Structure 1
Amino acid sequence: MGTQLLPQSVQDKYEIHEWKHACAILSGDFKTEWQDIIDLLDQFCLCKSWLTVGGGRKSQVSESIDNFLYNRGWVEKKFATSVTVDEDIMDSPTHKVDCYKNRIALEIEWNNKDPFFDRDLNNFRLLFDLRAISVGVIITRCDHLQDIFNMLGRGNSYGASTTHMSKLLQRIKGGSGGGCPILVFGITEKLYSQNC
């Protein structure tokens, strides 16, 4: 199984799912981006203080992940895409990718409405078909973190219709990512810290 290419430290702390040899592609053809993702996952900590504050435009979880990768040369990227039929050119806009570097697209879905997964997977499918990306990566939360949210009195802010692992897996298994190799990391309770 390709996820065995990941260090044990990452395997121990995350719920990991892979489709279409994403780990082999990343580790073989995109060594710098692979290492960036491993380093990100190794240093990530889910701080209690991030969960006890109200929402805003972007969660502190997403900010933390974005900032780590932006410091490694990743960027938020919107692709200008179009379809040409005979002489007619039709714009085919894509949604911005949270973090992009050298044909690797990474999305963070922490506490959005679950249709955001449809948007991400459709984006991966389209960009892969257009040969703009080689692998799509999604980082989201595991379902069991709901117990921690409930314990902190924040359970209502993280409802069943928001982004979490089981909502994502059913979409990928149903074919929503098309032919795009996909790697998914679920943030588990092992990453939770009450000390920050």
Structure 2
Amino acid sequence: MLHELQKQGYQVEVVSHARAILEVDFPEVEAELTDVLKEFKIPIKELIAGGGGEAKGTQRLRNALAERQWPKFHFHVERKVNGKLLESQSHEIDHVRELPAGRIALEIEWNNKDPFFDRDLENYKRLHADGAISVGVIITRGTSLHEKMRDMVGRFLDENRILSLDDLTHWGYEPTSRQKASISGLINRVKEPLTFREAFCRKFVADKFGEATTHWRKLDDRVRRGVGNPCPLLLIGLPDSIVEFP
């Protein structure tokens, strides 16, 4: 499953017979996801600049999926007994591919708080039980991308000769007062002071891409605990190779 992407370093895991379902009933899905993801790149400067709202890279990925008929989709499920409404639920899924054999749901969790995985998996579980979807897909930061983030930020600083926060203004990074104080504290502490490079990398990555955000290990932990079971799942981890340096 997704062998071309795996050769590029993508992590791929299939759960609860998702492989058989996708290969037999939805052969288009593997080709479409491969086409979108094999070309997906994020310039390192976008990781640094960041800012509010959704990351530019995620927006490009969403647009590429939408162009291949994976639009946002609203599910409205009602339960009635003898015409009496007992329960009504609505679910909004970022991307859904509708095909003759059924629907495939897809969520991108690039950098949310990790409880968003619980929401996605439980939504998939309910929608699958109701016959609304056949497989749920989650795309998130893979292990290599998550664990090498500090190294990549350090490389960016080195290649652009960035020696202070003022040097980062050109790249669109505007630290808060709290971040400035924290970085300064690491640099100026009496015991084992850090260089600007060390202090910035530690603080920046901890704040923006910390352990409590959505990444592969947090997703894998939940799936192994059975969250979302028995919905068939396709899990995709983005590798560090998607980050481009000029």
Is this a same-fold pair by TM over 0.5? Answer: yes
1:64 aligned partner, one-letter code:
R
SS in structure 1 at match of 2:49: coil
Report the more deviating stretch, 24-33 or 117-126.
24-33
1:150 aligned partner, one-letter code:
R
- Structure 1's 173 and 33: CA in aligned 2 closer, same or farther, altered over 3 A? same
**Which residue does the alignment assign to 1:88?**
85
**Which residue does the alignment assign to 1:14?**
10
1:114 aligned partner, one-letter code:
D
**Which residue does the alignment assign to 1:128?**
128
In terms of fraction of residues, the more helix-rich structure is 2
2:87 aligned partner, one-letter code:
M
TM-score, with normalisation over the residues of structure 2? 0.72
Higher Cα Rg: structure 1 or 2? 2
**1:25 and 2:21 equivalent?**
yes
2:211 aligned partner, one-letter code:
A
Cα distance in 2 for partners of 1:187, 1:157 equals 17
SS in structure 1 at match of 2:68: coil
Q: Which of 177, 189, 192 matches 2:240?
A: 189
**Which residue does the alignment assign to 1:167?**
218
Identify unmatched segments of 5+ residues in structure 2.
154-200
Cα distance in 1 for partners of 2:66, 2:10 equals 22
Kept in 1: contact 2:2–2:30 (CA 8 A): no
The share of aligned pairs that are identical, in percent, is 37
SS in structure 2 at match of 1:172: helix
- Structure 1's 179 and 146: CA in aligned 2 closer, same or farther, altered over 3 A? closer
Cα distance in 2 for partners of 1:100, 1:55 equals 28
Alignment map for 1:105-124 (pairs within 5 Å): 105-124=105-124
2:224 aligned partner, one-letter code:
K
**How many Å apart are 1:162 and its aligned residue?**
0.5
Cα distance in 1 for partners of 2:147, 2:115 equals 23
**Which residue does the alignment assign to 1:104?**
104
**How many Å apart are 1:52 and its aligned residue?**
1.3
Cα distance in 1 for partners of 2:50, 2:241 equals 23
Cα distance in 2 for partners of 1:30, 1:72 equals 14
Number of equivalenced pairs: 189
**Which residue does the alignment assign to 2:176?**
none
- Structure 1's 189 and 106: CA in aligned 2 closer, same or farther, altered over 3 A? same
- Structure 1's 23 and 55: CA in aligned 2 closer, same or farther, altered over 3 A? farther
Cα distance in 1 for partners of 2:143, 2:10 equals 12
TM-score, with normalisation over the residues of structure 1? 0.89
Kept in 2: contact 1:61–1:110 (CA 8 A): no
Kept in 2: contact 1:142–1:187 (CA 8 A): yes
Report the more deviating stretch, 132-141 or 53-62.
53-62
